[in-house]
Amino acid sequence: MEIERKFLINTLPDGLSKYPSDTIRQAYISTDPVIRVRQKSNDYILTIKSQGLLAREETELPLSEESFSHLLKKADGIPIEKVRYRIPDSHGYLIELDIFRGAYEGFIMAEVEFPSVEEALAYTPPAWFGKDVTDNPEFHNSRLSQRNKEEIFQFLNALPQ
């Protein structure tokens, strides 16, 4: 079970370069159900996710580089490229800060995973976090992949503050 909250980021934290990071490339074979292929450094992964916002089932299976390349050609939508920083927070959770590249250059979002729904709901994010978008399915990467950068930023500008 994946239990996570998602936040938009307006200001990057100080000292970002000191945190470990991975370059990620991913695409969606299907967005309903969500079937994703991902390259994270030298690892290749097929992921299947159930429906849901705060909590949903997630199954990951390893892929070979050849299988990843084959499936990537069958992707629906725009492939997503991002650098993911792993930042420990003061509550003992891990912040995954995604700085998007390529087709989504300039978009920044963070995810925080939790062991329980109760802990997720009780979480107080750091001051550098922006709007909580956990309950908005438009911020699932699978949905983002169906929009171009201009559409995403128009959508962001239309969000209530």
Q: Catalytic site residues?
A: 28
Q: How many Cβ atoms sit within 10 Å of the Cβ of residue 77?
A: 19
Q: How far is CA 63 from CA 14, 47, 67, 69, 104, in A?
A: 36, 10, 6, 10, 25
For the CA atoms of 99, 119, 138, 29, the dihedral, rounded to the nearest 10 degrees, stands at 80
Which residue type does 91 have?
A: H
Is the C-alpha dihedral spanning 22, 23, 29, 30 positive or negative?
positive
